Amino acid sequence: VEHGVHLSIAVGFMLENAVESAAKKNPEARFLLIDSPVLDEKGRAYDLPNVRSVTFREQEGTFLVGALAGLVTKTNVVGFVGGMQIPLIRRFEAGFRAGVMSTNPEAAKNLLVGYTGSFDKVEAGKQVGQDMIAKNADVLFHAAGSDGLGAIAAAREAGKWAIGCDSDQHPVAPDAVLTSFIKHVDFAVYQAIADVAANKFSATHAELGLKEGGVGYSPLGLDKLPNKDALVAQLEGLRKMIIEGKIKVPASAEELAAFQPSAAK
């Protein structure tokens, strides 16, 4: 802001307070906040005239990678490695669980969940991953930041599958990363910059899911599967059902408890 930039971009819910404070002090400046709306002192979302906020329906994308995990597991045991136990990561978990339920009910019953309590401890993620592999898990999905690199390493060393998170993590371990849940922060940032350049910037809140192209999964790594085309066809069928509203993916433990996977078959 002090340098007179046309748009200040903050990525991550932990920057919400900083953006709110800076926006109030600098009403002439424009801000883009990713992963959180602006919140009042009671935690309720509200608008500021110079802040655009973008959140994502992550559960829709994690549903698809969960469905894939259920389809490729040979042991009927898959694992979810989370970072901090916060609503955002619980949303990742709920979608993943629902996806597994939809393609492999047996694996859903055996699904392992572990939280590291952080986002910056690679060894913690590796330990959780190793513990799951010791319990027969052969597919690990993480939503744990840097901790997830440890989970991927655990899968690679054991010859198991890993599913990356947020960006395409295939280069991290090409032999182990089957796919990645993708959150298109780049799309939200590009759109905001384009709007500033066109003098069309508006202080709105947007929620992006599959329909808007905000989330998805990476195709890299899927070539390792002999039945890739059939699996992708199933995933794309599920994607279509979510976009059409035929599947409402749960975003919390409460919604997951009421989820009927039969609707996804």
One digit per residue, the tens of pLDDT, for the chain of length 265 reads: 888 899 999 999 999 999 999 999 999 999 999 999 999 999 999 999 999 999 999 999 999 999 999 999 999 999 999 999 999 999 999 999 999 999 999 999 999 999 999 999 999 999 999 999 999 999 999 999 999 999 999 999 999 999 999 999 999 999 999 999 999 999 999 999 999 999 999 999 999 999 999 999 999 888 989 899 999 999 999 999 999 999 999 999 999 999 998 655 4
Rounded to an integer, what distance in angstroms lies between the CA atom of residue 2 and that of residue 19? 14
Do 8-57+184-208 and 58-182+214-259 fold alike per CATH?
yes
- CATH class, range 58-182+214-259: alpha beta
Task: Order the strands of the 8-11 sheet from edge to edge.
Answer: 8-11, 31-34, 51-56, 205-208
- CATH class, range 8-57+184-208: alpha beta
Residue 3: per-residue pLDDT: 86
Residue 22: per-residue pLDDT: 98
Measured on CA atoms in the order 64, 102, 107, 68, is the torsion positive or negative?
Answer: negative
* Strand intervals (E) in the chain: 8-11, 31-34, 51-56, 78-82, 112-115, 139-143, 161-166, 177-183, 205-208, 215-217
| Beta-bridge mates of residue 115 | 82
Residue that has been written with the tokens 């910056």 in this structure: 120
Domain locations in the chain as residue ranges = 8-57+184-208, 58-182+214-259
For residue 76, give the nearest of 104, 101, 35, 116 by alpha carbon.
104
Residue 262: per-residue pLDDT: 65
